[in-house]
Amino acid sequence: MGVDGAGGAELDVAGPDLPGVDLPPTGERVGVADPGPASLPSLVRSWWWSLPLVLLGISLRIIAVLGVRLYRYFDSAEYEKLDFSGRWRRPWATPLLYKILPDDGAVVVLAQAFIGALCWIVLAFAVAALFRRRSIQVASALTVVALGCTAPITNWDSTMLSEPLALSLTVLVVAAWLNLVRRPTVPAAFGVLLATFPWLFVRQSLMPPAWLAFAFVAVAVVVMAVRRSSRAVVLPYAVVTVGLLVSCVLATISYSRNTEILHHNITTVVVDRVVPHEDVLDWFEAQGMPLPANGKLAFESFDKDPVFQAWVAESGSSVYARFLLDHPWYAVSKPIPDFLGANRSWLELPPFTEPKAQPVSMLASADPYGSSRSVLPGPVEEILFQGGAVGSLVFALVVVSGWALVRFRSLDERSLVPVATVALSVVALYAAWHGATAELPRLGLPAAVAIRVAVIVLVGLLVEVELDRRPQQPAPHRSSPTSGGTA
């Protein structure tokens, strides 16, 4: 019996383009009793190409960083202290990884590459399981694995920072959600929670999209209850809703115990985005923001002024949030240039200005904090993830959005995860931009990767829609041979 990877009740047998099994290309429509979608492990075991994909993904990721040294930065030492209470500057997820790994730079690099490879392979299988046609399964899985092997992603494996784990857990969370939507069961729901909980404790900027994800699921559960959906469908999402609420509350409480990074970031926002604009500065002063007693408006003056820092601790976040609400055009439009980046004019290059390696581009980080070697053909990497260039991504988003609008009625619940992923990633980008002023491409990296994954999934779903719309060709009539040698 064939297994429908997307959980359909009836299989349209059109050749060997089906998950895990080869059926005769009879062109007939075969009705089968629907046993429900197959579990992801059973599907993976049925795919002949799953083992080669695993070996390919791990090999490429390891080769990319083999022999590369571990790069330590000034804040790398902060990840050596493990504290589950939330009173340390860094949340516990990344320090826990470094506590488990041996104190050997080469081992850390290879371990981070291996963990990343496994998470991307799980995502590749979760994406492939969405589709009925084998050609789309293999193509989408290969594309996902290739994306995970691009240099802007693999170079982080050689750094002692939070990004390697943040990227790996981000794609694992997306994979868990894809699996839940395809096969809503309680074990799949716990899979989402198991991937999400450590992800929340990688960095503080992940909290806004996490709370929004909780809101989305809570609303979905209410809608399903109103529509009297079956208990078997509602229960897994109810489990996720409760689990997300508990996880987000615990993470929020933990982050509230140490606000050093938050206060530092508010200070930099004031210095870099408030002080240079007289009208904005006047607004903040009218809200009670004090200026440094020494009259200087440099970062050091704000950072060391006790009165200003007391204001930051007491009112800084709420005042800045109120400013964004009072100035919605600023809140929405101001970050966009840093999301997309732009080529610099001659007047913005040396000797007219201070040299800068790349324009800021949060959707295509070009900052090489670590080092890795290219393992993909140049054109493939440029299309999937070219550092500093967002042209391919913007073009793909425009095309896929238009395509999805045209085929909106043909899409099903499988499209919810990639659409929600794009929405939550945009929220994460805005939260990162408004919450800091330095290292913006680094802060936007998980969201930039998640959007690319969402595009891959949507392209696969839309291609499958187009193929399903084609009229079925009747199988050719095969005549028995005759004594004359021709039929």
pLDDT in tens, 104-146: 999 999 999 999 999 999 999 999 999 999 999 999 999 999 9
Q: Are 461 and 407 in contact (CB under 8 A)?
A: no
Q: DSSP secondary structure string, 279-297? A: HHHHHHHHTTPPPPTTS--
* Phi and psi angles of residue 10, each rounded to the nearest 5 degrees, phi first: -140, 135
Q: For position 307, what pLDDT does the model report?
A: 95
Q: CA 299, CA 297: separation in Å to the nearest integer?
A: 7
| pLDDT value, residue 214 | 95
**Could you give the 3-state DSSP secondary structure of residue 31?**
strand
**pTM of the shown model:** 0.87
Whether 268 contacts 301, CB under 8 Å: no
| pLDDT of amino acid 9 | 35
Residue 414 CA to residue 7 CA, distance in Å, equals 10
**Maximum Cα–Cα distance for the chain, whole Å?**
108
**Residues in the chain, pLDDT under 70:** 1-35, 343-359, 472-487
Q: Which tokens belong to 77?
A: 């030492």
CA distances from 332 to 269, 336, 341, 430 (A): 16, 8, 16, 8
Q: Which residue has the tokens 């492990």?
A: 41
Instruction: Compute the distance between CA of residue 224 and CA of residue 124 in angstroms, rounded to an integer.
Output: 29
What pLDDT, on a 0 to 100 scale, did the predictor assign at position 24?
37
Q: For 184-274, where are the E strands, in sequence order?
A: none
What are the beta bridge partners of residue 12? Answer: 29
Sort residue 7 into left (φ over 0), alpha (ψ -120 to 50) or beta. Answer: left
Sign of CA dihedral 21, 186, 121, 393: positive
pLDDT of residue 477: 57
DSSP result, 324-359: HHH-HHHHHHTTHHHHH--PPPGGGSTTTS---SS-
CA atoms within 13 A on the CB side of 59: 7
The dihedral formed by the CA atoms of 215, 218, 224 and 228, expressed in degrees to the nearest 10: -150
* Closest to 154 measured CA to CA, from 332, 356, 312, 369: 369
